[in-house]
A and B are shown apart, each in its own frame.
Chain A
């Protein structure tokens, strides 16, 4: 294995590079549609971003 990491000098061959795992964080609260945006949360901010519940609370 060690030998394969070395450049053997053959034209056109690339030096072996050990694979690197990179963790990319996924934020569930942002990856899934569900919430309208209010202070401190994710989601779109829209005047029409309502549900029947807010209609009944008198906010629309």
Chain B
């Protein structure tokens, strides 16, 4: 079946209702593969959804989605202001996040177009929860693979300079931008890896490629280009504050913190002040040449 593959995790999608035509989002195109056995299997079905979610309330993203647990399942309800308290979409998933069924409220969708059940934020929520149980995390960052294959991760909140950094690097020979907004971090076979995602920012740059992380830079604006040290505990805290976490899941949170600790034990992390311009790129390359890490 057709599947969305991000960070070596495939999300398969098929329609359960015979009258439903499913499609993937345009931004998913570069991430689509054929997969006989995707890690996450999702089926989609038309339904008449009701306002009330029953079960144990776990988390609420006001106006967008909320998560409950009921009868051994994790349930995500999705809302839009125009539909009030009636969800337009509901995912009922196994709590290991490997299987799910998306119910789409029939009247909320146009009948003359294919539907895209995995549209944001469901695609990212699925991956976020799946990874949190399997040593992975999505961070607010810009991932850049240099012509040498070295992976540089620039982490920062909105406005910190992720898109600016991507634009500074994007036309350089051999450079791949994995995303200027969301990057998946995983540690596999003893290596700290970063993976591209389809969730890009204003540069609209994204790639399904991956790379071993050479360095992590905490972005900061400055009057000159330069690097500053970051204590390990401070680095973990800064990364946590710039990640998308399962706040309702203590074990998942601890797993992410542990992942950061492991990565930071192997990968240098610095505070990176920069001014937009080619010299900002050269400063990173010079740092890498000196082998400061």
Considering only residues 52-74 of chain B, those with a C-beta below 8 Å from chain A are 61-65
A9 in the interface, Cβ–Cβ < 8 Å? no
Asked whether B26 lies within 8 Å of A34 as measured between CB atoms, the reply is no
Measured between beta carbons, the chain A residues less than 8 angstroms from B279 are: none
What is the number of contacts between chain A and chain B, taking CB atoms within 8 Å? 97
- 9 cross-chain pairs, A with B, having the tightest CB-CB distances, nearest first: A48-B25, A34-B64, A44-B199, A52-B108, A53-B80, A53-B82, A24-B237, A34-B61, A33-B121
Residue of A nearest to B122 (CB): A33
**A25–B120 contact, CB under 8 A?**
no
- Say yes or no: is B214 at the interface (Cβ < 8 Å to chain A): no
CA distance A26 to B62 in the complex (A): 17
Chain B residues near A31 (CB, 8 Å)?
241, 243-245, 247
Q: Which residues of A contact B125 (CB under 8 A)?
A: 33
Contact residues in A for B142 (Cβ distance below 8 Å): none
Contacts of A53 on B, CB cut-off 8 Å?
80-83, 88
- Taking A33-B120, A47-B26 as known contacts, 11 extra A-B pairs with beta carbons closer than 8 A to each other, sorted by chain A number, are A24-B238, A24-B240, A25-B241, A27-B241, A34-B61, A34-B64, A34-B121, A44-B201, A46-B199, A48-B120, A50-B119
Complex alpha-carbon distance, A39 and B192, angstroms:
34
Give the nearest-CB partner of B199 in chain A: A44
* Inter-chain contact B238/A44, CB cutoff 8 Å: no
- Decide: A22 and B201 in contact? CB cutoff 8 A: no
